[in-house]
Amino acid sequence: MKSYGNVMVETSINPQSFRELISALNLEPPVLIKPNWGSVECYTEAEILDWVLSVIQGEVLVIESYGWARSEEILLGKKQGAKTRSNLRKSDRWFLEYSGIAKVLEKHRVEYINLTEEIWAGRIADPDLIRQAVEEKYPPVQLEEMYGQVPARIYDFKGGTLLSLAKYRLLFEPIVVTFTIKNLFGLIPGPSRGKFHGGGNSRMDQSIVDINKIYRSLFSVKGIVEAVFTAGDGRGSFNRQEVSRNIGVALGCENTLDLDAFTSVLAGCDPGAVGYLKLAAQHFGNWDPQVYTMAKQIGIRIF
C-alpha cells in the first residue's frame, strides 16, 4: 500500500491487503457502512463487505435504501425493475440472497437497515435535531424535507463513523463520476429521487452536497473507492453500464473529498469540472492542491 498525501492506494488487492487498508482508516465504533447497491450489474460484493466487517470492532450497521435497478429484471436485460412496494421488498430479499450478502450479514451478526422502510414506517429522528446539527456547521439544505429523512435507528449511532464504501463507477454527464460523495446520495430514501434530481438534473449537485452535509454533521465520514472485482462505466447509456472485472485496485482516505478528487484525476477527469465536487469543496474545504500531481504520478487507469 502506498500513500499519496492522505490518500492510500493498493494496487494488488487480496483479503489481507484490503483489511490493512480498512484498518488504516481508524474506523471508530459504532460504525455505519453505506455500500453501493444501486445497481445489480455493478455493486459492493459480498466478499468486499466480508473483508470490511472482519476488521471492525464494535457495533456495526449496514445501511442502504431502495432503488429501481437492484432487481432480477435488470439483470435479465429488462429496462424496468421493481416498482410497487411489494416488488421492491421482494427484489431486496432476492438481491441479498443472489449476491451472497445475506450470508455475510449472518456470519458477522450484523444488522441491515433499509432506510426506505424506516421512512415508510415513520421511524425517523426528530427533524428539528437534524436541522440544528446541520445548520450549526453549514448553510441550510435546499429541500427541507431532507431533515425528516434520517431514520431513528441511524441517529442512534450519532457521533460514530460512517464508511462510504463506494464502487469505482463512471456515469453520464452531469454526474460524471460516482465515488464516495455521490454514494451518499443513496441515503435519500428511494426508490424515486426525482425531486432531488430536479428537471434536467438541475438540483442534483446541491442534493448530493446536502445529504453529505446531513451525515457529516452527525458522523465522522470516511471513504473507500474500490474496483477489486468490478468497476462500472455507464457513460454510454442511461440504462446500461459496461463492467470491467478483476482489476484489483482500492483507494481509501479519511477525507472523502480528497479521495474523490484524487480518484477523479485517475479517471482522467478534472474534479473542478464536476459540479457536485466543486460545490462540495465550497462547503467542506477544498481538496489537497497536490491532488493532480500525485494522482498522475501513479499512472493507473481503470478504464
pLDDT at 238 over 60: no
Could you tell me which of 6, 24, 2 has the C-alpha nearest to residue 297? 2
Identify the bridge partners of residue 114 per DSSP, sorted by sequence position.
Answer: 64
Band (pLDDT 50/70/90 cuts) for residue 239 is low
Supply the mean pLDDT for the chain: 93
Amino acid at 205: D
Cell numbers of 218, please?
A: 452527525
pLDDT at 156 over 60: yes
Cell numbers of 131, please?
A: 436541522
pTM of the full predicted structure? 0.96
pLDDT digits (tens, 9 = 90+) for 113-130: 999 999 999 999 999 999
Report pLDDT for 281: 97
pLDDT digits (tens, 9 = 90+) for 258-294: 999 999 999 989 999 999 999 999 999 999 888 888 8
Helix (H) or strand (E) holding 249: strand 249-253
pLDDT at 70 over 60: yes
